[in-house]
Amino acid sequence: MSMTRTAATFAPPVMEARRWLDGVTFPADRPLINVSQAAPVDPPPDALRQAMADVALSRDDAHLYGPVLGLSELRDGLAAETMRIYGGEVTGDQIAITSGCNQAFAAAIATLCAEGDEIILPTPWYFNHKMWLDMSGVRSVPLKADDALLPDPEAAEALITPRTRAIALVSPNNPAGVEYPAELIRAFFALAQRRGIALILDETYRDFHAQDGAPHDLFQDPAWSKTLIHLYSFSKAYRLTGHRVGAMATGEMRLAEVEKFLDTVAICPGQIGQHAALWGMQNLRQWLAGERDEILARRASIAEGFAALDAKGWRLLGLGAYFAYLQHPFDMASDELARHLVQAQSILCLPGTMFCPEEDTSGARQLRIAFANLDRAGIRVLFDRLQALDNSL
């Protein structure tokens, strides 16, 4: 009997890590620090929650099926916001709203790939991208990032075959936190354009980019929609993770194919979440700027406070958005070390082995820290606990 695609796909890493907590009691003076998942733990701000409540109470249509590709006012609003940030020309007809950004990626792959086709994924990779490709019968072709955790366009070109359908980038990167320079993103776009494949660019964490101004200029290319499949999420910006509101920007012909996929999976995105995303774009720009400032302050705390860990052999490989990507100094493999951290230091984080193919041994030396839910005092406690680890491990 053949194995199903879900059976052949690894378990969701965040859920697997949570199972490490089963039966564990944490001392009162050392409560759990959970840095395993990149998601806000606080609800949306009160003004947004009130706006959502008003929609729920006053708009009967918000409880019915809506357009498969999303509310037209949200599509138009995101197109306008995209032009404000990046320049160029984007219309609502080039936007689809999805039930989270993962669904946007899944829809993109459905329009691109047949059985046995290939997608190039830089490693360390975002595990949900790898999982969806596995479950779609699509081969993930690993593109190992360099020492700065940046992918190389020339190395990517060497991996292109007649079955290659796209290169998928995440910037700011999950899991590494690294922000890809604008010129590097442009180089990948030019490569994809020249070779007749798509560039999937997932910018879920765009709102927490450390640099002011546009992260790239791809939307300024008049032909951007023929090559670029741009993914975005409202979840992190407005704390809407439970409402699942993502988006895709691409050509209208591709969106006609995307509509087929979305109609058979969810029929339409949740409408209250869509209204929340629209209200957030219209009213929370200053609030979101404050959220970004706080994330950047926490990022700075990690960079400034890392010296003590560096002296003990740790290395800070990547830092940005919600993530710090670390290399540990121990002989113990990272998957074993991550489990040990739960018991020894009340820390739940993910090992680098979850972000790399099995043959890539670098993952055994790496850990991902999703620091966005730690304030600066919490970051100091995290570092103190990591310093306390026995060097004999």
Q: In sequence order, what DSSP letters do the residues of 30-58 get, joined into one string? A: S--EE-S--S--SPPPHHHHHHHHHHHHH
Residue 2 pLDDT greater than 90, yes or no: no
Segment 264-292 shows an average pLDDT of 96
CA–CA dist 350, 343 (Å, integer): 14
Listed in sequence order, the residues at least 6 apart from 376 whose beta carbon sits closer than 8 Å to its beta carbon are 297, 298, 301
Domain 46-283: which CATH class? alpha beta
Q: Domain coordinates of the chain in residue numbers? A: 13-43+287-387, 46-283
Question: Quick check: 156 and 119 in contact, CB under 8 A?
Answer: no
Residue 243 pLDDT greater than 70, yes or no: yes
Q: Would you give the DSSP letter of residue 125?
A: P
CATH number given to 13-43+287-387: 3.90.1150.10
Exposed, middle or buried, 28 (CB in 10 Å: 0-12/13-18/19+)? exposed
Segment 141-164 shows an average pLDDT of 97
Question: Quick check: 121 and 141 in contact, CB under 8 A?
Answer: yes
pLDDT tens figures, 356-377: 999 999 999 999 999 988 999 9
Segment 133-146 shows an average pLDDT of 96
- pTM for this prediction: 0.95
Question: Quick check: 126 and 170 in contact, CB under 8 A?
Answer: yes
CA–CA dist 68, 264 (Å, integer): 10
Segment 377-384 shows an average pLDDT of 94
pLDDT category, 393, cuts 50, 70, 90? low
Segment 264-287 shows an average pLDDT of 96
- % pLDDT > 70, the chain: 99
pLDDT category, 272, cuts 50, 70, 90? very high
Q: Would you give the DSSP letter of residue 208?
A: G
Residue 329 pLDDT greater than 60, yes or no: yes
Residue 391 pLDDT greater than 80, yes or no: no
Which segments of 5-126 does DSSP mark as H helices, in order? 13-19, 46-58, 72-86, 101-112
Segment 140-148 shows an average pLDDT of 96
Segment 234-239 shows an average pLDDT of 93
Question: Quick check: 108 and 258 in contact, CB under 8 A?
Answer: yes
Segment 81-104 shows an average pLDDT of 97
Segment 36-47 shows an average pLDDT of 88
Segment 295-301 shows an average pLDDT of 94
Q: Which residue has the tokens 């300024």?
A: 220
Segment 162-169 shows an average pLDDT of 98
pLDDT given for residue 200 in this prediction: 98
Give which of 386, 372, 298, 304 is closest to 340, Cα–Cα: 386
pLDDT given for residue 392 in this prediction: 57
pLDDT given for residue 264 in this prediction: 96
pLDDT category, 75, cuts 50, 70, 90? very high
pLDDT given for residue 239 in this prediction: 94
